[in-house]
Amino acid sequence: MKNKYVILGGGGSFAIHTAFYLLKQDDTDSVTGIGRNLLRPEMFSLNIEKEKKYSYLTYHLTYEQDLMLEKIDKIEPNIIVCYAAQGEGAVSWKNSWRFFETNSMGLSKLTENLMKKKYLKRFIQIGTSELYGSVNSPAKEDSPVFPSSPYAASKLAFDFYLLSVFKYLNFPMNIIRPSNAYCPGQLPHRVIPRAIISGLCKEKLPLHGGGRAEKSYIHVRDLAKAIYLVAQKGRLGEIYNVGPDNPTSIKEVIQRVANSLNMKFEDLCKITGDRLGQDSKYWLDSSKIKSLGWKQTISWDEGLKEMREWGEKYINQLKLYPKDYVMRG
What CATH number is given to the structural domain containing 117? 3.40.50.720
* Shared domain check, 28 and 7: yes
* Shared domain check, 119 and 268: no
Residue 281 lies in a domain: no
pLDDT reading at 89 higher than 80: no
Which pLDDT score, from 0 to 100, does residue 255 have? 96
Q: Assign residue 147 a region (left: φ > 0; alpha: ψ between -120 and 50; beta: otherwise).
A: beta
Higher pLDDT, 157 or 273: 157
For 268-301, letters b (16+ CB in 10 Å) and e give: bbeeeeeeebbbbbbbbbbebbbebebebebebe
* Shared domain check, 143 and 122: yes
Over residues 254-278, the mean pLDDT reads: 85
* Shared domain check, 71 and 26: yes
* Shared domain check, 211 and 136: no
Residue 84 lies in a domain: yes
pLDDT digits (tens, 9 = 90+) for 201-250: 999 988 877 788 899 999 999 999 999 999 999 999 999 999 999 999 99
pLDDT reading at 274 higher than 70: no
Range of the domain at 201: 187-215+247-276+299-318
Which pLDDT score, from 0 to 100, does residue 275 have? 58
